[in-house]
Amino acid sequence: MQSYHAKVSWSRRADEFTKQKYSRGHTWQFDEGLTVPASASAHAVKGDWVVAKAVDPEEAFIAAISSCHMLFFLSYCSSGGFVVESYEDAAEGVLEPVTSGKVVMTHVTLRPVVTFSSAGVAPSQAQVDSLHHRAHEDCYIANSIRSEVAVHATFVVR
């Protein structure tokens, strides 16, 4: 079993906390002291209480899924002899109410664009699809959530 940690820190400034008038800005601290500014989403909290240049939990959720998928995909390409030059994903998540009345991330779409080196063996579309399928099946984060995670991949051979 592996254990992972993140430290989330927030502290109140001079504000009217009990009137919902407080900054949602906070920090996430990870391995080796990396600190990331975080905040509530401007979609969730209106007004000046959101830090615009910070990551919100919904964005982080989508990024974690995308990152996990990418890392498995790159590993499988490497062991399969396919040289990847670049990988970019414009991942998207949809947050909406469900029948229980709760608001949940109902759908995540990954749109990776993968560029392979023409210097080595270029994969076929079927091989790329298989590598993405395998990465999705093995992704820890995708396997840990209830949301549907779809992969709409594009690849380029250069």
Q: Are residues 112 and 130 in the same domain?
A: yes
Q: Are residues 95 and 153 in the same domain?
A: yes
Q: Are residues 94 and 132 in the same domain?
A: yes
Number of structural domains (the chain) is: 2
pLDDT, one tens digit per residue, over 120-142 is 788 999 999 999 999 999 999 99
Query: What are phi and psi for residue 35, nearest 5 degrees?
Result: -115, 130
Whole-angstrom Cα distance, residue 138 to residue 53?
32
Q: Are residues 7 and 50 in the same domain?
A: yes
The answer on pLDDT for 36 being more than 80 is yes
Q: Are residues 22 and 69 in the same domain?
A: no
Question: What mean pLDDT comes out for the span 57-83?
Answer: 95
Q: Are residues 95 and 143 in the same domain?
A: yes
Whole-angstrom Cα distance, residue 134 to residue 115?
18
Give the model's pLDDT for residue 64. 96
pLDDT, one tens digit per residue, over 82-94 is 999 999 999 999 9
Q: Residue 27 has which token pair?
A: 């920090």
Domain holding 81, by residue range, is 57-157
Q: Are residues 76 and 134 in the same domain?
A: yes
pLDDT, one tens digit per residue, over 79-123 is 999 999 999 999 999 999 999 999 989 999 999 999 999 887 889
Residue at 106: amino acid letter = T
Please report, rounded to a whole number, the percentage of residues in the chain having pLDDT higher than 90. 63
Whole-angstrom Cα distance, residue 42 to residue 56?
9
Q: What is the CATH number of the domain that holds 107?
A: 3.30.300.20
